[in-house]
Amino acid sequence: MDGVTEMIDGLVDRVSAGGVVVLSGAGLSTESGIPDYRGPSGVARRHTPMTYQTFTGDRLARRRYWARSHVGWRLMARAWPNDGHRAVARLQHAGLVDAVITQNVDGLHTAAGSSGVVELHGRLDVVVCLDCGNRISREELDQRLREANPDFAARAGAVNPDGDVELDDAQVAGFHVVDCTVCGTGTLKPDVVFFGETVPAERVARCFALVEQARLLLVLGSSLTVMSGRRFVLRAAKLGIPVVIVNQGATRGDAYAALTVDAPLGRVLPALADRISGAAQGASGVSAVTPVAAG
């Protein structure tokens, strides 16, 4: 028996009792082709992330953002849930996972079949007008940007977790940004939380409430480097709620964890779901974990 198998045994013991709240990060989506920033499969960002203040206050910076994000969206839109996302959905459908909180903006938990996902930092596939509040799909915006930039042919090989890519100034020059069609002049922004912007208070409160009601907080693929996610681990630890972390590499929450598993999530989570399914089937003759198709 290898070390990972022993750790999966520990996960089975804890998760099979139910009452689990999942907190996921970028590491869960790496096997869908979306690299994270800090893990073994991460990418190093060469430019400063866009801040809310710069986006709203600098027209040229906003053009650079939308040019890069326009290219990145083409890559993000092709991303598909991986075995880790599907395993979480299976555990939720089995009644063991009560809620999923994600720091990711890729929508892959929902695409895998999870329901009621709390997207802490929003979703990249929704666009909001900062002036009138109208929301449209990213597909609609993508079509408008294509029509406004018929000769834009920039390409990028890798996309960041926030849908951004690396493009040089020559590729960005001449890119045309479009405005809101409802109010006519409103600034459009992806419905995600930028650096320098705060997560809506009611969303944070909802996440705290879910954690406080949990029997177990299961952290998946997050280094917990930023307080946005780590605060939920701190709250669980303060309340005596066990914390289990599955991540490739150390995290800033390891000191609070009852169990840490340093291994690929695409291996660990399907094995966990299969083990629990097999145990339930052995006890009752009926599988308690129903596979969920992606899409």
Percent of the chain scored above 90 by pLDDT?
Answer: 74
pLDDT at 169: 78
Domain assignment present for 40: no
Tell me, yes or no, whether 165 and 295 share the same domain: no
Q: Is 109 a catalytic residue?
A: no
Tell me, yes or no, whether 91 and 8 share the same domain: yes
Of 192, 207, 226, the residue at which a domain comes to its end is 192
Domain assignment present for 93: yes
Tell me, yes or no, whether 69 and 172 share the same domain: yes
- Domain residues for the domain of 111 are 1-34+81-121+198-295
- Does the reported pTM lie above 0.85? yes
Binding residues for Zn(2+): 129, 132, 180, 183
Domain assignment present for 135: yes
Tell me, yes or no, whether 144 and 211 share the same domain: no
Helix intervals (H) in the chain? 3-15, 52-57, 59-76, 83-93, 108-112, 138-148, 169-172, 201-212, 227-239, 265-284
Q: What average pLDDT score do residues 12-35 get?
A: 94
Tell me, yes or no, whether 96 and 186 share the same domain: no
- Which CATH number fits the domain that encloses residue 21? 3.40.50.1220
Which one-letter amino acid corresponds to residue 15?
V
Of 149, 164, 192, the residue at which a domain comes to its end is 192
- Give the span between the Cα atoms of 77 and 37, in whole angstroms: 19
Of 171, 192, 213, the residue at which a domain comes to its end is 192
- Give the span between the Cα atoms of 43 and 36, in whole angstroms: 6
The vertex-26 CA angle with 74 and 44, nearest 5°, equals: 75
3-state SS, one letter per residue, for 18-41 = CCEEEEECHHHCHHHCCCCCCCCC
Q: Are 156 and 72 in contact (CB under 8 A)?
A: yes
29-66, pLDDT tens digit by residue?
Answer: 999 988 775 544 444 444 567 899 999 999 999 999 99
Distances (CA, A) of 235 to 117, 161, 182, 224, 255: 20, 26, 42, 13, 13
Domain assignment present for 39: no
Binding residues for NAD(+): 103-106, 221-223, 247-249, 265
Kindly tell me if the per-residue pLDDT of 109 is higher than 50.
yes
Among residues 70, 85, 93, 121, which one is catalytic?
A: 121
Domain assignment present for 208: yes
* Other Cβ atoms closer than 10 A to 3: 10
